[in-house]
Amino acid sequence: MNETDGLRYRRLNRAKIITDEPQAPENKNSSYSGKVFRVTLVTLAVSLLVPLIGAIILLESPIEPQYLSFLEPPLMSGALEPNFKLRQAERLFEGQLIGPESMANIGGVLYTGTADGKIVKIEDGKIHTLATLGRPPCGTQKDEPNCGRPLGIRASQNRTLFVADAYLGLFEVNPFTGEVKELVSTQIPVNGKRLSFVNDLDVTRDGRKIYFTASSSKWQRRDYAYLFMEGINDGRLLEYDTFTKEVTVLMDDLRFPNGVQLSPNEDFVLVAELTMARIRRCYVSGLNKGGLDLFVENLPGFPDNIRSSSSGGYWVAMSAVRPNPGFSMHDFLSQKPWIKKIIFKLLSQETLMKFVPKYSLVVELHDSGVCKRSFHDPHGTVATYVSEAHEQDGYLYLGSFRSPFLCRLNLNEV
């Protein structure tokens, strides 16, 4: 073997460092524990993700969301500047009234409908049951179709009450005797479409015409979250003639039509289109009869009932807003129907409601539709789930579709 070969195969020995400290043995248990942790974490993730993905793929969504488009919400400034004025309201009859959605006055007596299917009158600080529209059992959403759910309520000049029941139809109620007369039954379709969700109403001064909304022909009131998130345009504004007993469709293709209000001259009817955050107008008399247009669009929230104000304008109640600055989940999801489908595959309506931020808002509009002033309760601390603002004798009474009380706000103090 030559010198070159010897160099080629020579192995170099590394120098060893000799210390007085004992060498730490390799920790095999630590390495094993790390592997077990990683395997456990991956197993847990897979066990959660696989059923979730399976549910998303295999489960059917209860809704078929529509693609909607919105303008950027109006800035919360000027007349819409956030405040705490609704927190100055006082709660009345807390725990004694469940879901007093709408109110009407005859003299000094206040009338409202409740979640257990009753029409009640409030007189001298006491609550009296005036009438029931359906039949028991009552008290839960499951019972609503039979028990009934009074929503809009109005008093005519001849001192008669008119009530819109979500499941049962339109009724005339004697405010003194409690006698009930059915006017329009939801069991009879109108132009081939069901009245699945009767909502609000208004009546002419002579009592002849009643204008009312049917929010959907597909969804009932207890499924209002489905109706709202699906964005289906199957709602209508209708007219009932108390003389001829005929029902006429005035507007259709509406997305969750809700509150109804006649103009002071009774030449047009305002209709809150909740899903679209706007108010539509339908002319019912005069030169423009039959005409349709937008009264106000791009509201800062989702309008419920509309009621006249003493200034000649209109009160509009909203239980959810489109904050700007801020983030509106509804606006964000409006162009992402596939996300809405996934949400309702995984969550129930009641669970979803828990994620909706509480923010009560009441705005007063001029007769031109311009916002005059606004009352807020961020986080719904005092006034929650506001459905109506009813002005009477210097006070604003606030109805709610689910709170167990009425609220009363002194307008002279705000």
Residues near 173 by beta carbon (within 8 Å), at least 6 away in sequence: 119, 130, 131, 160, 161, 162, 163, 179, 180, 181
In 114-218, DSSP assigns E strands to: 118-123, 126-132, 150-155, 161-165, 169-173, 180-185, 198-203, 209-214
pLDDT of the residue at 374: 98
Distance from C-alpha of 408 to C-alpha of 90, rounded to nearest angstrom: 5
Distance from C-alpha of 53 to C-alpha of 330, rounded to nearest angstrom: 24
Do the Cβ atoms of 366 and 356 come closer than 8 Å?
A: no
Q: Do the domain assignments include residue 165? A: yes
Per-residue three-class SS string for 216-244: CCCCCHHHHHHHHHHCCCCEEEEEEECCC
Helices (H), 152-284: 224-230
Per-residue three-class SS string for 287-310: CCCCCEEEEECCCCEEEEEEEECC
Do the Cβ atoms of 66 and 330 come closer than 8 Å?
A: no
The ranges of the chain with pLDDT < 70 are: 1-34, 36-37, 39, 42-58
Q: What is the number of residues in the chain?
A: 414
Helix (H, G, I), strand (E, B) or coil at 112: strand
Distance from C-alpha of 260 to C-alpha of 72, rounded to nearest angstrom: 25
pLDDT of the residue at 352: 87
Considering only the C-alpha atoms of the chain, give the largest distance between any 2 of them, rounded to a whole number of Å.
128
Do the Cβ atoms of 296 and 323 come closer than 8 Å?
A: no
Q: Do the domain assignments include residue 183? A: yes
Q: Do the domain assignments include residue 232? A: yes
- Apex CA 200: angle with CA 197 and CA 201, to 5°? 125
pLDDT of the residue at 133: 95
Helix (H, G, I), strand (E, B) or coil at 350: helix
pLDDT of the residue at 30: 59
Q: Do the domain assignments include residue 31? A: no
Q: Do the domain assignments include residue 191? A: yes
Q: Which domain CATH number covers 346?
A: 2.120.10.30
Q: Which residues pair with 164 in a beta bridge?
A: 170
Domain housing 201: 105-355
Per the structure, how many domains does the chain have?
Answer: 1
Name which of 184, 187, 271, 195 is nearest 234 in CA terms. 195
Q: Do the domain assignments include residue 162? A: yes
pLDDT of the residue at 6: 44
Return the residue matching tokens 């109506």.
Answer: 388
Q: Do the domain assignments include residue 297? A: yes
Q: Do the domain assignments include residue 149? A: yes
**Tens-place pLDDT, residues 326-365:** 999 999 999 999 999 999 999 999 898 888 899 999 999 9
Distance from C-alpha of 247 to C-alpha of 194, rounded to nearest angstrom: 13
pLDDT of the residue at 292: 98
Name which of 188, 159, 154, 187 is nearest 171 in CA terms. 154
> Can you say how many angstroms the Cα of residue 164 is from the centroid of all Cα atoms in its chain?
18
